[in-house]
A and B are shown apart, each in its own frame.
Chain A
Amino acid sequence: MSTENIAAPRSPYLSHRKRNRFNIEKWGWIYMRVSGVLLVVLIFGHLFYNLIFPGKVSILDWAFVAGKLANPIWIVWDLLLLWLALIHGANGMRTLINDYAHGRFRTVLLRALGATTAVLLVMGTLVLTTFDPCLGDTDNAELIKICAAQ
């Protein structure tokens, strides 16, 4: 037997190395890096605006959020935040489940995770795209003026 027939040490399991095939683990890995960099900007922008300036924890209420969602830029911002962060988090949870859960328990957890993620994405998108700040009561003078003008 020649040495050519022996796989190199520590080479990956061959059935996982079919070339030219869509590799979901590779794209998941890339997604975590790309979304992570974008989320640094989106999340710290979100936290800074809500908690430092112009917002602060003591004035966060329905009117504050309604005022934000009157601006299309914040709707796009929050939609990006929702989709990127939720899929980023779900993919991280998927890694934990694959690491620690086995057999039937793993299947149940993965399905529950997928269902939860889908429901949250649909509900969040629905709120962000159909929200009307003028439907609720508010004592925010700026918002009252905007709604009266409609």
Chain B
Amino acid sequence: MGLGEVALVAAIGLHALNGLRIICIDMFSWGPKAQRVMFWVAIGLWIVLLIGFVPRHLMHVFGGE
């Protein structure tokens, strides 16, 4: 279950960030021009999210605490 949560958070985190990027592309005049930059911003925020979540979470999964 604990490893499934890692997959869940990784999947939903990327889906959320990529979805917000698509909303920006649709809503703002600068959106389409910035879509490639925003893709890498989303990837960067996703990696930050996973660094914040995964180590602590895995300690709870395998450390028993």
Pick the contact of A37: B23, B57, B64 (CB < 8 A): B23
Nearest residue (CB) in A for B27 is: A33
**CB distance B61 to A58 under 8 Å?**
yes
B56 nearest in chain A by CB position:
A52
Asked if A58 and B16 sit within 8 Å, CB to CB, the answer is no
1/0 per position for B1-43, CB-CB distance to A under 8 A? 1100100010010001001100100100000000000000000
A57 touches B60 (CB 8 A): yes
Contact-size category for A: 10 to 19
Chain B residues with CB under 8 A of A52: 53, 56-57
A122 CB within 8 Å of chain B? no
Q: How far in angstroms is the closest Cβ of chain A from B21?
A: 11
Which of A16-24, A43-51, A101-109, A111-119 participates in binding chain B? Answer: A43-51
Chain A residues within an 8 Å CB radius of B56: 52
Give every chain B residue within 8 A of A39 (Cβ-Cβ). Answer: 16
Q: Which residues, 19 to 73 on A, are CB-close (under 8 Å) to B? A: 33, 36-37, 39-40, 43-44, 47, 51-52, 56-58
Q: Are A51 and B5 in contact (CB under 8 A)?
A: yes
User: What is the CA–CA distance of A57 and B1 in the complex, to the nearest angstrom?
Assistant: 8
In the complex, what residues of A have CB within 8 A of residue B12's CB? 43, 47
Contact B2 A57 (CB under 8 A): yes
B9/A36 in contact, CB under 8 A? no
Of the residues B9, B23, B53, contact of A33 by C-beta under 8 Å: B23
Residues B20 and A40 in contact, CB atoms below 8 Å apart: yes
Q: Distance (Å) between the CB of B5 and the closest chain A CB?
A: 6
> Nearest 8 CB-CB pairs, A to B?
A56-B60, A36-B19, A58-B60, A57-B2, A40-B16, A57-B60, A33-B23, A57-B61
Q: Which residues of B contact A (CB under 8 A)?
A: 1-2, 5, 9, 12, 16, 19-20, 23, 26, 53, 56-57, 60-61, 64-65
